[in-house]
Amino acid sequence: MKNRLRILRAERSWSQADLAQRLEVSRQSVNAIETGKFDPSLPLAFKLARLFNTSIETIFSDEE
């Protein structure tokens, strides 16, 4: 699943570790989601959307 996490993170000058801390997950988790290797659950996707003050669809797209 494609996502815009890297862009959204860059807009806020957050490192992967910063985002991981805000999400209360490991940095490896953020990296795995960002690179599209791991699809987050719906609760984590909502958490991401709330954190970036946007919708889930803005962050994730179901394109391969």
Partner 1 sequence: MLCDPGSKAGRRYLYRLIPMSVVYIAVVYLSKWSFRHFHPTGLVVYLLAILPALPMVGSLAIVGLYVAEETDEFERSILVRSILWGLAAALAISSIWGTLEDFAQARHLSSFLSYLSFWIVMAISGVIIRLRYR
DSSP structure class, residue 39? P
Which of 32, 49, 51, 56 forms a contact with partner 1 (CB under 8 A)? 32
Degrees, nearest 5: CA angle 49-6-35:
100
Whole-angstrom distance, CA of residue 57 vs CA of residue 4: 10
Residue 44 touching partner 1 (CB under 8 A): yes
State how far the Cα of 36 lies from the Cα of 32, in Å rounded to an integer.
6
Nearer Cβ to partner 1 (29/51): 29
Tell which one of 9, 31, 49, 51 touches partner 1 (CB under 8 A): 31
Residues forming contacts to partner 1 in the complex (CB under 8 A) are 24-26, 28-29, 31-33, 35, 37-38, 40-41, 44
